[in-house]
């Protein structure tokens, strides 16, 4: 029997295809990586079907490529060795929203748009990255450790329990959902750790190479009662960093982002002409900081945070004009604030793809006091390769009270221009090496960066392969990614 025939027995005729038209949809994505074709695609309805598909593939050493989002940017879901794409989009149920324990449990196919709307109805929100694509899987983005804009919660890491399908086709629950009979249990799945090993850690940053996560429980927060946004034009990025070193450990604020003129213009512009104007007029950097009053006495919280900010600015950072408006850009703050709490609108082209069509992001974790150094390196390599420095998008995300930050450089290009694509790919590789040499840490390397990082991390890579060998001895789980 053909692969398709076997799969039909599991998921039903309507939920499997080997038609070229269908397979083409999965053969490439928005990254610069070359296309790859699967042999079949399935759309399972539930975890048991996923498990049966995986079990069959494992028996026959057929690769599986798990897909949860509707759009992909890192090349992880491009089938690199053929096989079966397992698209979990039909598994898009929100299984429970527990308001007492402030958690939500949801399937892999649930998108940001879907989840934020459902949570909003209950007065809750998820802590999210900057403007996530509305049709990305929340589960995937969270597992892939997308950095969030809100770092005031010391406990960070929203991930709790997971349901996992292993390469051998067995179904497993990690964390405190591992109790027998979950969810009909006293345990609510709030602890990510265990049992016996921290399985959730192996699934993070794994791009589906360790197993398929079919649902996740995750922490959620209340929607604040009052929000205020503060903005500051920034010329001297080091000065702004010293300010953040000063205030963020005092647990001020909710969201805090630093965006250069290119990125901010891209986000705020409604059309192309507006982008050019904004790009030209915006300050080199804009610091945006929101403060919020939460459930009780919200005005008092706003008041003491504002008071503290004012004192620090006055006494120590009077060259930083942080205020509730960005001079020259009336209404920008009012517009930006709700954007920071929501995914990108579904009916608008994603801002990174609006500029030139294509976008290559280079992102890594760094010490905030080295930001200038990294910017210099990036600019130099871009210039060396003929990429205009003024076109580079730059975004600095403080993390964990600014004890670190994520730096993201965005290189925009036309996907129809082969030369440009080659140049951007080259810059990507060269910049990654140079930034790494200067101490930048690529904690989640994708595409062409991955072999560079895993090569450098030789012993780590070796150990990782040994762990992989335990969980997926036939290497069927999304081969060709990470270091496998």
Partner 1 sequence: MSINKQAYSAIETIVGGKYISEDPAIMEGYRSGPGGYENGTGYERVMTTIPHAVVMPKNTEEVQKIIKICNRYNVPYVPYSTGFYGPRTHCHVENELIIDLKRYKDFEYDDKHFYFDVGSGAILAPLQQEALNKGAYTVIGGGGAQCSAICNLIGDGWSPLSHRIGLPHRRILGTELVLPDGELVKTGSLATSDDPFWGEGPGPDLRGILRGFTGLRGCMGIVTKMAIKTLPFQPEPLVPTGIAPNTALALPVKRVKWLNFRVPTKEAQIKAMFDIGQAEIAAALTKVPLFWRAIAKAEDKEEFWDIWLKETEESIANFFIVRVLLVGYTSEDDMIYQENVLNDIMTELGGVPMRTKPSDESWIKNADSAGMWLMTGSYVSVDYIIESLTQATVHGNTYAELKKKYTPPLMPDFGDPGWFQSFELGHQGYSEFLIYWDHREDTSGVDQFYVDTSKMNIKHRYYTSLIGPHQPLFLTGPNYGPNYHEWLLKLKNEFDPKWVSHPPVPLAHDDFVNKAPWMHAIRDWEFPEELPMPKW
Give the Cα separation of 465 and 246 in Å (integer): 41
Q: Report in angstroms how near the CB of residue 206 gets to partner 1 at its nearest.
A: 4
CA Rg, the chain, in Å? 23
Question: Which residue, 199 or 275, has its beta carbon nearer to partner 1?
Answer: 199
Report CA torsion sign: 178, 97, 185, 110.
negative
The one-character DSSP state at 226 is: E
Q: Report in angstroms how near the CB of residue 339 gets to partner 1 at its nearest.
A: 23
Q: Report in angstroms how near the CB of residue 90 gets to partner 1 at its nearest.
A: 26
Q: Report in angstroms how near the CB of residue 336 gets to partner 1 at its nearest.
A: 23
Q: Report in angstroms how near the CB of residue 52 gets to partner 1 at its nearest.
A: 17
User: How big is the CA angle at 453 (ends 427 and 33), to the nearest 5 degrees?
Assistant: 50
Question: Which residue, 4 or 441, has its beta carbon nearer to partner 1?
Answer: 441
Q: Report in angstroms how near the CB of residue 249 gets to partner 1 at its nearest.
A: 4
Q: Report in angstroms how near the CB of residue 388 gets to partner 1 at its nearest.
A: 30
Q: Report in angstroms how near the CB of residue 225 gets to partner 1 at its nearest.
A: 11
CA 371 vs CA 252, 339, 374: distances in Å = 22, 25, 5
Tokens 């919280």 belong to 301
Cα-Cα-Cα-Cα torsion 316, 321, 324, 328, nearest 10 degrees, comes to 180
Give the Cα separation of 334 and 297 in Å (integer): 23
Question: Which residue, 5 or 460, has its beta carbon nearer to partner 1?
Answer: 460
The answer to whether residues 153 and 401 touch, using CB atoms and an 8 Å cutoff, is: no
Question: Which residue, 263 or 472, has its beta carbon nearer to partner 1?
Answer: 472
Give the Cα separation of 349 and 339 in Å (integer): 15
Give the Cα separation of 374 and 298 in Å (integer): 39
Question: Which residue, 149 or 207, has its beta carbon nearer to partner 1?
Answer: 207
Give the Cα separation of 110 and 362 in Å (integer): 26
Give the Cα separation of 142 and 326 in Å (integer): 32
Give the Cα separation of 209 and 188 in Å (integer): 27
Give the Cα separation of 302 and 46 in Å (integer): 45
Is 370 in a helix, a strand, or coil?
Answer: helix
Q: Report in angstroms how near the CB of residue 307 gets to partner 1 at its nearest.
A: 6
Burial 45-84 (b: 16+ CB within 10 A, else e): eebebbbbbbbbbbeeebbbbbbbbeebbbbbbbbbeebb
Question: Which residue, 404 or 434, has its beta carbon nearer to partner 1?
Answer: 404
User: How big is the CA angle at 331 (ends 328 and 333), to the nearest 5 degrees?
Assistant: 95
Q: Report in angstroms how near the CB of residue 404 gets to partner 1 at its nearest.
A: 6
The answer to whether residues 133 and 344 touch, using CB atoms and an 8 Å cutoff, is: yes
Question: Which residue, 341 or 401, has its beta carbon nearer to partner 1?
Answer: 401
Question: Which residue, 262 or 289, has its beta carbon nearer to partner 1?
Answer: 289
Question: Which residue, 179 or 380, has its beta carbon nearer to partner 1?
Answer: 179
Question: Which residue, 79 or 158, has its beta carbon nearer to partner 1?
Answer: 158
């Amino acid at each position: 029997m053909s692969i398709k025939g076997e799969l039909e027995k599991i998921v039903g005729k309507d939920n499997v295809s080997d038609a070229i038209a269908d397979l083409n949809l999965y053969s490439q994505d928005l990254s610069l990586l070359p296309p790859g074709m699967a042999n079949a695609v399935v759309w399972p309805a539930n975890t048991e079907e996923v498990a049966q598909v995986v079990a069959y593939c494992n028996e026959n050493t057929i690769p599986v490529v798990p897909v949860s989002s509707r759009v992909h940017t890192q090349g992880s879901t491009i089938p690199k060795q053929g096989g079966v794409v397992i698209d979990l989009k039909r598994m898009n149920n929100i299984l429970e929203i527990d308001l007492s324990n402030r958690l939500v449990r949801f399937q892999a196919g649930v998108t940001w748009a879907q989840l934020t709307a459902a949570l909003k109805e209950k007065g809750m929100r998820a802590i999210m990255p900057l403007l996530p694509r509305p049709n990305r899987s929340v589960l995937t983005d969270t597992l892939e450790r997308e950095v969030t804009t809100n770092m005031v919660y010391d406990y960070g890491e929203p991930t709790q329990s997971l349901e996992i399908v292993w390469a051998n086709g067995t179904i497993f629950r990690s964390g405190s959902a591992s109790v027998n009979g979950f969810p009909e249990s006293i345990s609510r799945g709030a602890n990510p750790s265990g049992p016996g090993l921290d399985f959730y850690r192996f699934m993070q940053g794994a791009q589906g190479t360790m197993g398929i996560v079919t649902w996740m429980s995750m922490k959620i927060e209340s929607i604040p009662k009052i929000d205020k946004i503060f903005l500051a034009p920034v010329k001297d990025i080091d000065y702004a960093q010293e300010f953040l070193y000063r205030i963020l450990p005092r647990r001020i604020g909710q969201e805090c982002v630093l965006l250069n003129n290119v990125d901010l213009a891209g986000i705020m512009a409604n059309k192309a002409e507006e982008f050019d104007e904004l790009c030209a007029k915006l300050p080199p950097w804009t610091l945006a900081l929101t403060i919020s009053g939460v459930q009780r006495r919200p005005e008092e919280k706003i008041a003491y945070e504002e008071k503290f900010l004012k004192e620090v600015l006055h006494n120590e950072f009077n060259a930083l004009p942080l205020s509730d408006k960005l001079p020259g850009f009336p209404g920008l703050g009012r517009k930006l604030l709700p954007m920071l709490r929501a995914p990108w609108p579904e009916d608008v082209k994603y801002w990174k793809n609006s500029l030139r069509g294509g976008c290559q992001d280079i992102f890594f974790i760094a010490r905030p006091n080295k930001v200038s150094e990294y910017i210099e390196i990036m600019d130099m390599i871009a210039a060396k390769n003929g990429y205009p420095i003024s076109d580079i998008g730059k975004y600095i995300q403080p993390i964990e009270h600014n004890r670190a930050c994520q730096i993201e450089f965005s290189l925009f290009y036309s996907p129809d221009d082969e030369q440009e694509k080659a140049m951007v790919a080259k810059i990507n590789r060269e910049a990654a090496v140079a930034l790494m040499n200067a101490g930048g840490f690529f904690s989640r390397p994708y595409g062409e960066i991955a072999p560079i990082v895993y090569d450098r991390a030789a012993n780590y890579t070796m150990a990782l392969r040994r762990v992989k060998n335990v969980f997926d001895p036939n290497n069927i789980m999304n081969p060709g990614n990470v270091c496998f």
